Amino acid sequence: MTGQIELGLMVAQAYKSYGNLQALKGVDLEVVKGEFYTLLGPSGCGKTTLLRIIAGLELPDSGRVFLGGREVTHLTAAKRQVNTVFQSYALFPHLNIFENVAFGLKARNFDPTQVGRKVGESLEMLSLSGLEKRYPHQLSGGQKQRVALARALVNEPEILLLDEPMSALDAHLRAQVQEDLRRLQRSLGTTFILVTHDQDEAMMISDRLAVMNNGVVVQTGTPRQVYSKPTNQFVAEFLGAANILPARRQGNQLFTNLGPLHVSETPYWEEGHLAIRPEHIVLEGEIPQGSVNCVRAQVREAIYRGQSLDLWLDPGPLRVRTNTRDRLGPGDQVSLFFPPDDLVALDNQPSRY
């Protein structure tokens, strides 16, 4: 990190167990102030536990948490400038929308006129004006979610934590809310940390993300880095589809069951795996003479997906994603080109994750 970049959050070597279950096994995390950061992983990977430790709702067995350079490991949620949007939204059912949003300010004895102004601003920012007197059960799912956001943001937290806030919304609304959330974060400049298991959501919404599995952070980076250069098989397969090819290295040459392949970054291992995304494999009519990374294959199955055409090819099974203008069906012969830049050599430690 350069001197200009300010750390909003740092977690160092966080461990947490529940009985025999190890939820976190030494997690390190650095989140830059003002970025939209996502903790992405399958259920049970420890992402929610990590979020709760950041919120102050859970104490790590060992490890430390720093907020803007200040250690907060042993401070309760009430003593941290961090607010959470809960998965269930957790709106107080006996309080109306105004009272729900005003809760955090009133609990800290803010001046009543200030409370009114701030709550009003916050409701307006999330297009909830006019709903002040309603009760949570009178709102739609999307409105409830915005109330939960307003209730957290009105406190002007250093970091806003979002625990799978989109999971209760239907697919159409979810896409809308994801865009709104991203815009909101950009305009406020507040650090947002989102927990999700939805890799598409993580991709489109975050500046950077951490992929977690089995209580460990497997890889961090921008969505582009993590998607196009997965460091191991778990990341390659969790973030969209991937073809995993066993390979052997002899000098700078890599041999697979498709023949010799060139890779832009030569791996350190003798035996390991290569990954390539289905949409990165190029379909060509003719293989140019003497060209490298070209393979002939036969279509075994074609799956029409509206926006794309997925082909399962022999030898393989190899998955290729192409556009729907290609009218290919089972039995057709195709030529494939594997761009060396898109062929990624995976880290050779699959057992660790």
Partner 1 sequence: MDDEKTTNKNPANKKPAMISWRGDVTKLSSLRLKGFALAAPPMLWLLFLLTIPCISFIFIALAQRGEYGDVVWNFSAHNLKRLIGFGSFGWSIDYLKILGRSLLVALVTTVACVALAYPLTFHVATRPRKSRVFWLTLIIVPFWTNVVVRTYAWLLVLGPNLPPAKLAAWVGLIPAGTALYPSSMAVYLGMITTFLPFMALPLYASVERLNWDLLEAAKDLYASRWQVFRQAILPQTWPGLSVGIIVTFVPAMAMFVVTDILGGAKYMLIGNLIQQQFSQARDWPFGAALSVALMVMTLISLSVFRRRKINLDQNINLDQN
- Residues near partner 1 (CB under 8 A) are 55-57, 76-78, 82-84, 86-95, 103-104, 107-108, 135-137, 141, 144, 151-152, 155, 168
* Nearest residue to 313 via CA among 303, 325, 305: 303
> By the 8 A CB rule, do 266 and 307 touch?
no
What residues contact 281, with CB distance under 8 A and at least 6 apart?
Answer: 243, 318, 320, 321, 336, 337, 338, 342
Grouping H, G, I as helix, E, B as strand and the rest as coil, residue 122 is helix
CB of 22 to partner 1, least distance (A): 20
Q: Is the CB of 163 or the CB of 347 nearer to partner 1?
A: 163
Backbone angles phi, psi at 202, to 5 degrees: -60, -45
Which pairing describes strands 82-85 and 7-18: parallel, antiparallel, or unpaired?
Answer: unpaired
- Shortest distance, CB of residue 51 to partner 1, whole angstroms? 12
Omega within 30 of 0 (cis) for the link into 317? yes
Which C-beta is closer to partner 1: that of 137 or that of 224? 137
- In the complex with partner 1, the residue whose CB is nearer, 47 or 273, is 47
Pick the closer one to partner 1 by CB: 99 or 332: 99
Q: What SS3 state is found at 54?
A: helix
DSSP 339: -
- CB of 244 vs partner 1, minimal distance in Å: 40
Give least dist CB 134 to partner 1, A: 10
Name which of 32 and 77 has its Cβ closer to partner 1.
Answer: 77
| CB closer to partner 1 out of 170 and 286 | 170
| Min separation Cβ 188 and partner 1, Å | 18
Both tokens assigned to 280: 């990165």
Q: How far apart are the C-alpha atoms of 192 and 205, rounded to whole Å? A: 10
Shortest reach from residue 155's CB to partner 1, in Å? 7
Q: Given the complex with partner 1, which of 84 and 322 has the nearer CB atom?
A: 84
Question: Closest Cα to residue 348, out of 246, 224, 217?
Answer: 246
**Could you tell me the smallest distance in angstroms from the CB atom of residue 161 to partner 1?**
9
Produce one character per residue of 71-102: b if its CB has 16 or more CB atoms within 10 Å, e if not.
ebbeeeeeebebbbbbbebebeeeebbbbbbb
